[in-house]
Structure 1
């Protein structure tokens, strides 16, 4: 490797070896044998869908940069297989502390994979800027903080445990935005942070896979799985149609923009994460899917042109308007639907009870956003210390800094 490139031989392999030895030792002493593992054959097919979605779907979803294709898919896979083990380890620690009471099995693996969605979303915000060591440290810190946020929501704000996992989009988006705001801005003349037709095609391929498997993601831990699947699919379908409609209406020449399709078709699934199990009428899910697509496309215009430059938000793959804003919409919709449902049941007679419900519901997602943003800022400062070998801004968005190439990486 040329001398101008930084070698990670003395850091990444040894860090991975240390972490893997830790996971292996904990599994040897703590995890049950195969005969004692809690296994449900009905959960495994849905678990496969979620696994495909997170590894394959998000791996290609992040391939938006023309010279960062190897790193987008490769680092995503590394973070997931490492983070799933660490997430199981954190859940085991919570079990020892009597904070959580779920046994090890397929459902715990499903929760671990779903928790990694927060990390993948955050990685999309810092895409091309963080080196492997920084990404690994960010993943481990974020998983711990996300589980802490889940425990606060579950123990103090009375959020059901399966719904605490649905905050992954809120937590991942705002944690990633806070982390990336602590990285130096790339120079104005740097053109490697652009996409190409090939990278956009691969990215939309990942979007299609995420779109296909999102109903399984929203329903895997739900009690009413069919209801959650139906509501999520309808919302996704409407958001996809709305994405094409709004893309043609908002572009200057009336043509479809791949960037709009890349982000807005998933908005319905993100919006339904909080509300899929409480929606009784399909038309409500369809309206939320439409609103999710609208807020995603309009948000991309407003954020990129009006808010990102003065606030210095460096959102490489647009996770704010792809996941953050639709998740906020879904959280607000969940509060409204729960209040209306409770008000109809009690005939609006117990207003203090409704006020307490609103306080808990609003407090849960406000706590998630504030915890993600504050801890993200602190994590961003930690990631830029000299020990973690931060990459120079001139080497942002370049595969050649990390991968061996028989040719130049211009094709991606």
Structure 2
């Protein structure tokens, strides 16, 4: 049975995408400029392009398959991920280039600017995680545009007010994206979510594809954390890569052990593991500029896996029951809590280097203000976006159409099977009429209403 709001894709999604893309093309025609001075650096392309490839694979392929664990939402999770990433990256290039446009009259475009824009887009992909399956693609596009705008605004405030370095400010994307997404789920809470959605299920095949995305993210996370480290100091970049790998390795082993301990049957939980093995990369990315010893990275990865596992096991259900936040992809335990742990680790590792009490207090206030700005802007923009999306004009899916690809995609095989069953039920020409009717009604309950 076709969803009630199916025509909204034609009347809303297509005009919105064409309008935005036309606007981006016009802006690029007047203000974009390819940076040509990099041709003077012989090794620039050789050094930067592999990192660009790694981050691109992680954002598009890794995040795209990461959320395909839902049985009937695989096309939407991977397809909408690509759509959101493409739009958010273009928008981030424009917003990041406003300062350059003001001083030079042009927005500089090179591999480094696209890399930074993709990292901003990654924060938008984190933010739509809690909304997966419950939002239309039009809503997801709006969320991405608002989230990227808010994140770049917070990053600008950190640079201007507190003079935070770009590496430290951008790595707070996990905290910003997680709290932005959780705020949206709180405002857009659906009645009956605590009962569970009919199609919010996981099976072996969808879990395998989801684990594939997790593996890609896990493999390329060292590049993601080290890509913004100053190239003039190869030793620091090597430290960042090694620290990220060690943190990821420790978090993977720890998450597997804790998953067995927390299971009533003493078995591994696939969805829990794929969320928690990434916690080490998230946590160590925030203080990556001050992590200089292997044991520090390993301790951060170990602690991050513990916090993430506990959060996945207990906080997800409590957030739903107590705060009415239905977090589909568990971004709180995957990105939010490890990101806060990374902020705390940065604070402690930096504080131990201060022997002067006055300087230590000043740095503490500075570091706390950094977190307050990030969370304040995240919550404010999340509330603003949530109020915008509550407008019924965007046609959100009904509860019985949530987590279902057929609401937005042409699923040929399922549609043909449904039409065939409908044909059998209406004419009852099959020799095994009773068996066919019961099978069709079991597979497609809506046919009973149609009949």
TM-score range, shorter chain: over 0.9
Structure 1 residue 37: deviation in Å? 6.3
Match of 2:12 in 1: 11
For residues 178 and 221 of structure 2, the distance between their equivalents in structure 1, rounded to whole angstroms, comes to 17
Match of 2:396 in 1: 390
Structure 1 residue 386: deviation in Å? 2.2
Structure 1 residue 393: deviation in Å? 2.2
**Paired residue for 1:246, among 258, 268, 278?**
258
Match of 1:73 in 2: 78
Match of 2:128 in 1: 123
For residues 25 and 37 of structure 2, the distance between their equivalents in structure 1, rounded to whole angstroms, comes to 18
Query: Per the alignment, do residues 295 and 35 of structure 1 end up closer, same or farther by CA in structure 2, a change over 3 Å counting?
Result: same
* Contact 2:68–2:78 (Cα < 8 Å) also in 1: yes
* Contact 1:129–1:183 (Cα < 8 Å) also in 2: no
Describe the SS at the equivalent of 1:153: helix
For residues 196 and 179 of structure 2, the distance between their equivalents in structure 1, rounded to whole angstroms, comes to 27
Residue 165 (1) aligns with residue 170 (2): yes
Structure 1 residue 158: deviation in Å? 2.0
For residues 153 and 225 of structure 1, the distance between their equivalents in structure 2, rounded to whole angstroms, comes to 23
Describe the SS at the equivalent of 1:75: helix
For residues 77 and 370 of structure 1, the distance between their equivalents in structure 2, rounded to whole angstroms, comes to 28
Higher relative CO (CA 8 A, sep ≥ 6), structure 1 or 2?
1
- RMSD between superposed Cα atoms in Å: 2.1
For residues 2 and 268 of structure 1, the distance between their equivalents in structure 2, rounded to whole angstroms, comes to 43
For residues 175 and 37 of structure 1, the distance between their equivalents in structure 2, rounded to whole angstroms, comes to 36
- The two structures have a TM-score, normalised by structure 2, of 0.86
Which protein shows a greater Rg? 2
Residue 369 (1) aligns with residue 370 (2): no
Residue 145 (1) aligns with residue 150 (2): yes
* Contact 2:34–2:110 (Cα < 8 Å) also in 1: no
For residues 357-376 of structure 1, give each alpha carbon's deviation from its aligned partner in whole angstroms, at most 9, with x where no partner exists.
11111211222122212221
Structure 2 unaligned residues grouped into runs of 5+:
231-235, 416-442, 444-451
Describe the SS at the equivalent of 1:408: helix
For residues 130 and 292 of structure 1, the distance between their equivalents in structure 2, rounded to whole angstroms, comes to 30
For residues 190 and 130 of structure 1, the distance between their equivalents in structure 2, rounded to whole angstroms, comes to 14
Aligned length: 404
* Contact 2:98–2:107 (Cα < 8 Å) also in 1: no
* Contact 1:184–1:393 (Cα < 8 Å) also in 2: no
**Paired residue for 2:384, among 370, 378, 386?**
378
Describe the SS at the equivalent of 1:128: coil
Query: Per the alignment, do residues 33 and 334 of structure 1 end up closer, same or farther by CA in structure 2, a change over 3 Å counting?
Result: closer
Residue 299 (1) aligns with residue 311 (2): yes
**Paired residue for 1:191, among 179, 182, 198?**
198
For residues 237 and 98 of structure 1, the distance between their equivalents in structure 2, rounded to whole angstroms, comes to 44
- The two structures have a TM-score, normalised by structure 1, of 0.93
